[in-house]
Amino acid sequence: DAGVIQSPRHEVTEMGQEVTLRCKPISGHNSLFWYRQTMMRGLELLIYFNNNVPIDDSGMPEDRFSAKMPNASFSTLKIQPSEPRDSAVYFCASSLQANYGYTFGSGTRLTVV
């Protein structure tokens, strides 16, 4: 099993540009989570999906952020337009069942200049 796969590993972009982060969960896992990690705020849940359906997006900062999961093996998190305060490490995670812990991907380090 290749684990949770995220791309890109690093992204540097200019303010105002669109950024798309990608995630492939572990095959068979039915829940997918997007988290953001900063020194100041720690790990914050942005949104999660069960069986490809968005369940809780209360952590999405504002309308500039959107997430999709078109099928069980792929999800995207998009930021448009990006701002310097969006600079953080974005993690995708997946889990098999509600009572299990997550497996995290390697993360995408986003820098907006």
Partner 1 sequence: QKEVEQNSGPLSVPEGAIASLNCTYSDRVSQSFFWYRQYSGKSPELIMSIYSNGDKEDGRFTAQLNKASQYVSLLIRDSQPSDSATYLCAVRLTGGGNKLTFGTGTQLKVEL
Contacts of 63 (CB under 8 A, 6+ apart): none
Among 25, 33, 69, 86, binds partner 1 (CB under 8 A): 33
Q: Which stretch binds partner 1 (CB under 8 A): 8-16, 21-29, 71-79, 96-104?
A: 96-104
In this complex, which beta carbon is closest to partner 1, that of residue 10 or of residue 18? Answer: 10
d(CA 93, CA 75): 11
Among 12, 15, 55, 113, binds partner 1 (CB under 8 A): 55
Among 5, 13, 45, 74, binds partner 1 (CB under 8 A): 45
**For residues 41 and 104, is the Cβ–Cβ distance under 8 A?**
no
List the structure tokens of 97.
């069942």
Burial-class residue 108 by CB neighbours within 10 Å (0-12, 13-18, 19+): buried
Q: Given the rule CB under 8 A, which residues bind partner 1?
A: 31, 33, 42-43, 45, 48, 50, 55-56, 91, 95, 98-107
